Structure 1
């Protein structure tokens, strides 16, 4: 009898410049708060596991090929410390046991090795983007198109490099508008939140390339969803549920989240 498999995704979050300016203790507290937030966002969504480990690292595992990337993107947009940005090594694939049975502290799996390898590659880059997928090392999926893994990896990471280039050019107000729109989904609501007129919000949205940044976010999700649907017909792990759950929770204290960005 063939073993049942489950689609999952992983991120390993690390923090830039975490040892500078005596930020260690403050970042440790912040990462603990972030883990609590992730648990709240995902509680009614799909089973997930998340841990704060090794000082400035968070590891996340959840069902669904796109789940880790969705969470990572939202975290990057509400992240408090501009001088200590997070970066995420990402992987996705399949496991032959339920995630609920995994002890994240002891679990050894090639997908975790892939996410860590992606994170380590980011750590070595001077112009470090926020996200990197690793699909072509350590692991062969029973469902993914393994002969095209290198091409998929190149596609994802090229989009992410271009996305990061646009994010890096955003001014503080353009960043706030983009992040608020990601959560609220209406420019009028963003204007009310930030105390700006609709034309002003529209101008910041366009000049900050928010259409392109958010468009690339959605396009990567669409590709991951398509891969998952081809591999797991009938399995109901919807990225819309993940995204809406995160948005609904972030809306409750969005002003505080955006006001505290340093």
Structure 2
């Protein structure tokens, strides 16, 4: 009997400087809140596995090649603590069992190892970008992109590093404009929420390179979706559903986001 495969993605997230400023307890509570938020955001995505563990770590596994990256990007933009930012080791690929059957605390799989390896590389990087993919270690995909996985990994990580270079140059107000625009999708609405005039919002949006940052997010997601579509033509890609769900739920607490 031919094995049935399922497309999944994984992130393992840690928090920078989590032991500084006596922030441990506060960050622990916040990470629990983020796990609850992820469960709500993914309610229409089918089964997922997400857990806060090992103090300042979150592990996520969900169906869809782009799911983990989309969630990670939104988390990074709405994150409450500017001095304690998260960083995400990412992987995606294929498994031959349903997620419903997986015990995330005991699951040993090469894709988990890849995400862990990517996270460890970020931990050792003095510049520490927000995201890193690992696709070329420990694991061989049964599908077509396998023969190009090293090239895709290099492409993604180069784009992510350039994205990070733009993000880290944003001022606090530019960061707020970019993050709010990601959620509400209109500069006029951003201005209303932030109490700024349209020209001021436009200026911060341009100077903060928000268009380039958000374009890179969309392009990376689209490329990953294309890889999944080439291997799983019969499986619906729900990245738009996920992004819409995140936006709608974050809008309900938008004032909390803007207070950061």
Q: Shared fold (TM-score greater than 0.5)?
A: yes
Q: Is the 8 A contact 1:45 1:245 kept in 2?
A: no
Where does residue 173 of structure 2 map in the other structure?
A: 173
Where does residue 230 of structure 1 map in the other structure?
A: 230
Q: Is the 8 A contact 1:93 1:144 kept in 2?
A: no
1:1-150 equivalences in 2 (<5 Å)? 1-150=1-150
What is the RMSD of the two structures over their aligned residues, measured on CA atoms?
A: 0.8
* Cα deviation code 1:52-71 (max 9, x no counterpart): 01000000001000000000
How far apart, in 1, do the equivalents of 2:256 and 2:122 lie? 30
The TM-score with structure 2 as length reference comes to: 0.99
Where does residue 221 of structure 2 map in the other structure?
A: 221
Where does residue 160 of structure 1 map in the other structure?
A: 160
SS at match of 2:22: coil
Task: Tell me by how many angstroms 1:148 deviates.
Answer: 1.1
How far apart, in 2, do the equivalents of 1:78 and 1:244 lie? 15
1:196-215 equivalences in 2 (<5 Å)? 196-215=196-215
The TM-score with structure 1 as length reference comes to: 0.98
How far apart, in 2, do the equivalents of 1:236 and 1:155 lie? 25
How far apart, in 2, do the equivalents of 1:125 and 1:49 lie? 28
How far apart, in 1, do the equivalents of 2:45 and 2:121 lie? 31
Q: Is the 8 A contact 2:45 2:63 kept in 1?
A: no
- Greater shift, 244-253 or 42-51, is seen at 42-51
Give ranges in structure 2 of 5+ residues lacking alignment.
Answer: none
Q: Is the 8 A contact 1:35 1:51 kept in 2?
A: yes
Task: Tell me by how many angstroms 1:77 deviates.
Answer: 0.3
SS at match of 2:183: helix
- Greater shift, 150-159 or 138-147, is seen at 138-147
Task: Tell me by how many angstroms 1:145 deviates.
Answer: 2.1
SS at match of 1:111: helix
* Cα deviation code 1:127-164 (max 9, x no counterpart): 11000000000000101422211110000000000000
* Cα deviation code 1:155-184 (max 9, x no counterpart): 000000000000000000000000000000
* Cα deviation code 1:169-226 (max 9, x no counterpart): 0000000000000000011110110001111111110110001000000000010000
